[in-house]
Amino acid sequence: MKALKIYSVIEPKIFAVCIAFVLGIVFMTVPVHAHKVNLFAYVEGDRVVVEGYFSAKSKAQDSVVEVFDETGKKIHEGKTGKDGIYSFKLADLPAFTGGLKFVLEAGMGHKAEYTLSSSDLPSSPKKAKPAKEVEPAQEQAPRDRSEAVPEPAKAASVQVLDQAALSAVLESAMDKKLEPLVRMLGRQEKLLLEEKNSGPRINDIVGGIGWIVGIVGIAAFFWGRNRSGKN
């Protein structure tokens, strides 16, 4: 009944303008972060993997991925698939120094950047040094049996050192393999927290709509009252 009374004192054009104004405000309250595109890149073996997405369920499909060196020169370009992923071999890139910057163009003004530092990239394989030629050992009779046969304690010490060196090498290799995964998980967790904490909640949106409708109703009431008073 109240809505009918308000409509009766307001011209249809004015009422339509008020409704359009309210709807415009409502649509502006839609969370902006729903359209924000995110980008992440990491090294997996001899390949670089680039992932673009708007949310956990919405991938940045058919989006252009540009790769730049540290001087800002574009050295590679590709396009994401239906899963929002694009990958390429590091060997396919021309020679470069330093890190890499990735730029994702998802259309409609959606753009994201991500940088891999030089420490994130595998170092170029070093050439193995040629093994020294082993000179034929001169046949020489040991002075005594103690020189010819190694002591058990010395052999055990060498074995312990070999095991320690092997453990260190394995640990270093595992750290290099797991480091990109740890960074990716940390970034994903951060993005999920940002997505959870940013943007208005449904209660805030409904409350805002109520405030807008109330203000428009009050304004329409006084406007109609002043108009009827003049008549």
**Residues 44-64 as b or e (16 or more Cβ within 10 Å = b):** eeeebbbbbbbeeeebbeebb
User: How far apart, in whole angstroms, are the C-alpha atoms of residue 225 and residue 136?
Assistant: 115
| pLDDT given at position 63 | 94
pLDDT given for residue 192 in this prediction: 67
Confidence band of 34 (pLDDT split at 50, 70, 90): very low
Closest CA to 119 of 103, 98, 101, 94: 98
Tell me, rounded to whole angstroms, the distance of Cα 155 from its chain centroid. 51
Share of the chain above pLDDT 70, in %: 51
- Stretch 25-53: mean pLDDT: 75
The pLDDT value given to residue 82: 93
CATH class of this structure's domain 32-122+152-197: mainly beta
Mean pLDDT calculated for residue range 20-32? 53
List, for residues 114-139, the tens digit of each pLDDT value: 999 998 888 754 444 444 554 555 54
Of 213 and 146, more confident: 213
Percent of the chain with pLDDT over 90: 25
Q: Which of 12, 9, 1 is nearest to 224 (CA)?
A: 9
Residue whose pair of structure tokens reads 């929002």 in the numeric block: 84
pTM: 0.48
Per-residue pLDDT band at 197 (split at 50, 70, 90): low
Compute how many other C-beta atoms are within 10 angstroms of the C-beta atom of residue 10.
Answer: 18
- 229 φψ region: left (φ > 0), alpha (ψ -120 to 50), beta (else): alpha
What pLDDT score does 113 carry?
94
The pLDDT of 7-31, averaged and rounded, is 54
Encode pLDDT of 57-92 as tens digits. 789 999 999 999 999 999 999 999 999 999 999 999
The pLDDT, as a whole number, for residue 32 is 44
Secondary structure (DSSP) of the chain: -HHHHHHHHS-HHHHHHHHHHHHHHHHHTS-GGGG--EEEEEEETTEEEEEEESSSS-B-TT-EEEEE-TTS-EEEEEE--TTSEEEEEGGGSPP--S-EEEEEEEETTEEEEEEE-GGGSPPPPPPPPPPPPPPPPPP---SSHHHHS--HHHHHHHHHHHHHHHHHHHHHHHHHHHHHHHHHHHHHHHHHHHHHHSS--HHHHHHHHHHHHHHHHHHHHHHHHHHHHH-
